[in-house]
């Protein structure tokens, strides 16, 4: 039986004949590369654990909240800018309407001014009764003018009082110059037409006489 096995098995037959058996080199190379290939095969990624997934979800939620907050703040800023712009436009319209109204009232104020000057310059020496009547009329007109000017002042319209002030071309309009030895040159000594401020801005410059300096 052993003889038969040796007969039909080449490797055993070689060993039996005293020759050492070696496996072919090609078989060794195949085995080597196959083992290396097994080593280089990528391992399957380990599944993420529950804690890692929760952390990723939390980070994603934080980013989403941050985006929402940024958009909200931008919207609030845009809305406030719109409010301020609208407020300015409304105030501008109010100022324009008030300016037109105030200019229309100046004619009435001028009428009071002229009436008072006329009454004060009249000759009241004729009779004592007439003097008393005129005096009473003057006082009434003065009181009416005062109430009228106070009403205008409450709405931002204020009469200028330039007498004795240094001439300022921004608020005064010089209509003439006259030398005045007892007054400082360049100052206002006479008001031909009163000027007015509206909300501290010049609505109408005062027409004035200015002290002329020595040449």
| Contact yes or no for 203/196 (Cβ under 8 A) | yes
Overall number of domains in the chain: 2
Q: Which candidate, 121, 114, 122, places its Cα nearest to that of 141?
A: 114
- What mean pLDDT is predicted for residues 53-75? 88
Q: Which two tokens stand for residue 173?
A: 């309009």
For the entire predicted model, the pTM comes to 0.48
Which range marks the domain in which residue 189 is found?
A: 160-215
- Domain annotation covers residue 146: yes
| Contact yes or no for 13/6 (Cβ under 8 A) | yes
Q: For strands 201-204 and 196-198, give the pairing.
A: antiparallel
- Domain annotation covers residue 97: yes
User: How big is the CA angle at 172 (ends 170 and 175), to the nearest 5 degrees?
Assistant: 135
pLDDT tens readout for residues 116-145: 777 666 655 567 767 777 778 878 888 888
* Residues 107 and 147 placed together within one structural domain of the fold: yes
- Between 66 and 206, name the one with better pLDDT: 206
Q: Which two tokens stand for residue 172?
A: 């005064």
User: How big is the CA angle at 117 (ends 114 and 120), to the nearest 5 degrees?
Assistant: 150
- Between 93 and 36, name the one with better pLDDT: 93
Residue 175 has pLDDT above 80, yes or no: yes
DSSP assignment string, 149-202: HHHHHHTTEEE---TTSBP-TTTEEEEEEEE-TTS-TTBEEEEEE--EEETTEE
Residue 14 has pLDDT above 50, yes or no: no
Q: What is the pLDDT of residue 185?
A: 92
The enclosing domain of 201 has a CATH number of 2.30.22.10
CA 148 centroid distance within chain: 38
* Residues 94 and 121 placed together within one structural domain of the fold: yes
């Amino acid at each position: 039986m052993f003889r038969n096995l040796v007969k039909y098995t080449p490797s055993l037959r070689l060993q039996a004949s005293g020759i050492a058996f070696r496996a072919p080199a090609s078989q060794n190379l195949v085995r080597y590369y196959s083992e290396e290939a097994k080593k280089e095969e990528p391992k399957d990624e380990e599944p993420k654990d529950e804690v890692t997934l929760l952390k990723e979800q939390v980070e994603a939620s934080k980013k989403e909240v941050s985006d929402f907050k940024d958009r909200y703040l931008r919207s609030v800023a845009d809305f406030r800018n719109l409010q301020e712009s609208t407020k300015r436009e409304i105030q501008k319209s109010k100022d324009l309407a008030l300016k037109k109204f105030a200019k229309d009232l100046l004619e009435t104020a001028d009428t009071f001014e002229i009436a008072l000057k006329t009454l004060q310059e009249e000759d009241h020496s004729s009779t004592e009764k007439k003097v008393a009547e005129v005096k009473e009329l003057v006082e009434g007109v003065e009181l009416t003018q005062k109430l009228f000017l106070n009403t205008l002042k409450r709405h931002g319209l204020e009469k200028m009082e330039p007498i004795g002030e240094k001439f300022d071309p921004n608020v005064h309009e010089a209509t003439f110059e006259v030398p005045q030895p007892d007054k400082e040159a360049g100052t206002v000594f006479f008001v031909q037409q009163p000027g007015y401020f509206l909300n501290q801005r010049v609505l109408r410059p005062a027409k004035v006489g200015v002290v002329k300096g020595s040449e």
